[in-house]
Amino acid sequence: MERLTASEIFIGLLTQFTPVWIGLAVILAFSWLFRSKLGLYGKLFGSPIGVAGLILVLFWVLTAIFADLIATMDPLTQISGMKNKKPGWPVSGEEGQWYLLGGDNLARDVFSRMVHGSRIVIAIAPAATIFAFMVGVTLGLPSGYYGGKFDTVLSFIANLVLAFPVILLFFLLVTPEIRETGVPLAMAGVLFLFPIIFFLMLFYSRFKEQPPKLAFSVIVTLVLGFWAYSGLAFNKDPFGVFYMDPNLLNIFVAVVFVNSPTVFRIVRGLTIDIKTRDYVAAAQTRGETPWYIMLWEVLPNARGPLIVDFCLRIGYTTILLGTLGFFGLGLTPESPDWGTTINEGRKLLAVYPHPALPPTIALMTLVLGLNLLADGLREESLRD
């Protein structure tokens, strides 16, 4: 077999991403048809910048979902004779198969590693950001609403963490040596409690006057919450459903710990502003509890800035994950995550640029999409 031409490589790439094109078409078509009923997301289609960002983000989300269908090879498989082969090179001993984007220094398919790398980023960055928001919201709402010494102490702790250089703090939290001290486990034990606390307060404030619903919600939250908590934080899930690799736990805890103070400050500032509004005063007059006011009056009216920050924060987290992988502090060395792949490719960048370029472009386009999406959401939220 002969090596593929540039046009054949391009067509091959487009063909491999067929599930993504179909998924994009379906999602965008239904979103457009029902945009008037989709709130802020529906209004996003009035912003060209927001739509461009949405398409880029959806592209990588769908790529992560359909990675097994898109990838042409196993991302860890090494094939003899394919080391550092250029894009479009036929696979040795495999009729009708090519390394579309070439092979890396260990003879693995660059295209397949890029595709499966998206699954790692899409799985970690949003989940860690959600946990950070749970911590920031749970502490930021009462801090801004009550003020006083409670606010002073939490603000001081948040400022203390924010005063530390972010990259250096990440390096300290994810190094193998820190794992031996048990610090990541202790931090996970504290930080992973906040989603449980958040949902307990959410249901309590909502169903306080409806004991049957309250009891059901609390029982479900405690059972599912502590089941997930035992597995994710301490790897003690008796059924093995919830599990987090020690390397991943280090990274996850670091992301949550570093992002939480910033989210806390944003939520606190929004709460201080919103609690002076007339609808909050009306809720206080009705005799609503403070947590009801915080979760059902203040938080929904702060959703615009928080959604924008959420998108931006996923982008920052994606960059940080790539940075950690680049410096060898990410997941396992053979992991196809983009940072690790870029680091492996840059060692021979002057001679073989093709292994490093695809994951670099992938990382750049995902972060660009998140930034554009955040800009579009900010633009539309300001019009509300």
Q: Measured in whole angstroms, how far is the alpha carbon of residue 320 from the centre of its chain?
A: 11
Q: How confident is the model at residue 244 (pLDDT cuts 50, 70, 90)?
A: confident
Rounded Cα distance, 101 and 111, in Å:
5
Q: How confident is the model at residue 51 (pLDDT cuts 50, 70, 90)?
A: very high
Query: What's the angle, vertex CA 171, arms to CA 370 and CA 357, rounded to 5?
Result: 50
Please say which residue of 257, 292, 315 terminates a domain: 315
106 and 203 inside one domain: no
Please answer whether residues 141 and 294 qualify as being in contact, where contact means their C-beta atoms are separated by less than 8 angstroms: yes
128 and 87 inside one domain: no
The gap between the terminal CA atoms of the chain, to the nearest Å, is 59
292 and 378 inside one domain: no
Taking 70 as the threshold, does the pLDDT of residue 52 lie above it? yes
Q: Does residue 331 fall inside a structural domain? A: no
Q: Does residue 89 fall inside a structural domain? A: yes
Taking 90 as the threshold, does the pLDDT of residue 328 lie above it? no
**pLDDT tens-digit readout, 125-154:** 899 999 999 999 999 999 999 988 999 999
> Looking at residues 25-44, what average pLDDT do you find?
89
Rounded Cα distance, 174 and 92, in Å:
39
Q: How confident is the model at residue 330 (pLDDT cuts 50, 70, 90)?
A: low
The conformation of residue 85, written as its DSSP 8-state character, comes to: P
Of the listed ranges 42-56, 66-80, 299-313, 338-352, the one predicted with least confidence: 338-352
Closest CA relative to residue 159, chosen from 294, 28, 264, 291 = 264
131 and 271 inside one domain: yes
Residue 42 burial class via C-beta count within 10 angstroms: exposed 0-12, middle 13-18, buried 19 and up: middle
Task: For the chain, count helices (H), then strands (E).
Answer: 19, 2
163 and 73 inside one domain: no
Please answer whether residues 184 and 173 qualify as being in contact, where contact means their C-beta atoms are separated by less than 8 angstroms: yes
Please say which residue of 315, 330, 345 terminates a domain: 315
> Looking at residues 82-94, what average pLDDT do you find?
81
Q: Does residue 336 fall inside a structural domain? A: no
91 and 132 inside one domain: no
Please say which residue of 257, 287, 315 terminates a domain: 315
pLDDT-above-70 percentage for the chain: 97
Helix, strand, coil share (%) of the chain residues, nearest 5? 75, 0, 25
140 and 269 inside one domain: yes
140 and 176 inside one domain: yes
Q: Does residue 148 fall inside a structural domain? A: yes
185 and 283 inside one domain: yes
HSE-up of residue 56 (Cα within 13 Å, Cβ side)? 22
Q: Does residue 197 fall inside a structural domain? A: yes
**pLDDT tens-digit readout, 189-208:** 999 999 999 999 999 998 98
97 and 126 inside one domain: no
210 and 75 inside one domain: no
For 360, the domain range is 6-113+356-383
Report residue 34: phi and psi, to 5°.
-110, 20
Those residues whose C-beta lies under 8 Å from the C-beta of residue 342, and which sit 6 or more positions away, are: 322, 325, 326, 356, 359, 360, 363
Q: Does residue 345 fall inside a structural domain? A: no
CA dihedral 17, 21, 22, 24 (to 10 degrees): 130
Q: What integer pLDDT is reported at residue 57 of this predicted model? A: 94
> How far apart, in Å, are the Cα atoms of 344 and each of 192, 341, 366?
33, 5, 20
Q: Where on the phi/psi map is residue 332: left (φ > 0), alpha (ψ -120 to 50), or beta?
A: beta
Is the Cα dihedral 314, 317, 321, 326 positive or negative? positive
Q: What integer pLDDT is reported at residue 384 of this predicted model? A: 59
198 and 235 inside one domain: yes
Q: What integer pLDDT is reported at residue 185 of this predicted model? A: 84
Q: Does residue 272 fall inside a structural domain? A: yes
**pLDDT tens-digit readout, 268-298:** 999 999 998 988 999 888 888 899 999 999 9
Q: Does residue 360 fall inside a structural domain? A: yes
Specify the number of domains making up the chain: 2
Computed on alpha carbons and rounded to an integer, the radius of gyration of the chain in Å comes to 23
Closest CA relative to residue 97, chosen from 26, 210, 179, 1 = 1
Of the listed ranges 6-15, 94-103, 270-279, the one predicted with least confidence: 94-103
Provide the token pair at 57.
């983000």
